[in-house]
Amino acid sequence: MASAPRPQPCFGGDSLTLQAPNPRLVLASQSSARSALLRDAGLTFEAKAARVDEDAIKASARAEGLDASEAALLLAEAKAMRIARTEPDALVIGADQMLVCDGAWFDKPADRQAATVQLRALRGRTHELVCAVTCHRHGGRVWQHVARPRLTMREFSDRFLDAYLDAEGDAVLGSVGAYRLEGPGLHLFAKVEGEFGAILGLPMLALLGFLRGHGVLMT
């Protein structure tokens, strides 16, 4: 028996739109930076917090000898799976980011003192922001991707660092690097290599390419 033809996405209408009405997009994250990237690209989506034990997943990855890319994918996968359980028909986007410098993994700083220690450790050195994204639909993963932007911090003074932390306040605690490249954190750097979206936590060019191939966006 022949299978029923797959419904084709419908674009357009009374106003120009690049996105089909189905499937719905759900971002498995409450990250304001990731939401802003999707929103600025003109996508319609819903953001839902995916509560997973990130520390436990990282510890397991370390114990298994996984590298940062594999660990970031595990985290992104766990987030997407958590939301996809209750959103089987939606296209769920999970993402995570890890900072790696000379083989060491860095986490979000717990307080200003931790941010100071972390930024001094990164000062004058090059690190990678390993950014993983995965998409789930109908109970399984349909796509994944890892980007690795490289960023080099300049040799800033301790006086500058204190002034920077005063200016940013608690905002540095929400970033794995203790900086916001879209804000005053840009002053920390001498060189940045990689897609801006991936640096902020979501590799948009790769994601948009997948969405076009999946019939979600107009080709």
Contact 4, 197 (CB under 8 A): no
96 is catalytic: yes
Q: How far apart are CA 92 and CA 128, in angstroms?
A: 26
Is there a contact between 109 and 173 (Cβ–Cβ < 8 Å)? yes
- The residues, any chain, with a CB within 8 Å of residue 117's CB and separated by 6 or more, are 109
Residue 26: name the closest of 51, 49, 5 by CA.
Answer: 49
Cα 63–chain centre separation: 24
Q: Which of 67, 96, 162, 166 is catalytic?
A: 96
113/86 Cα distance (integer angstroms): 39
One-letter amino acid at 54 equals E
Instruction: Give the Cα separation of 95 and 74 in Å (integer).
Output: 10
Residues tagged active-site = 96
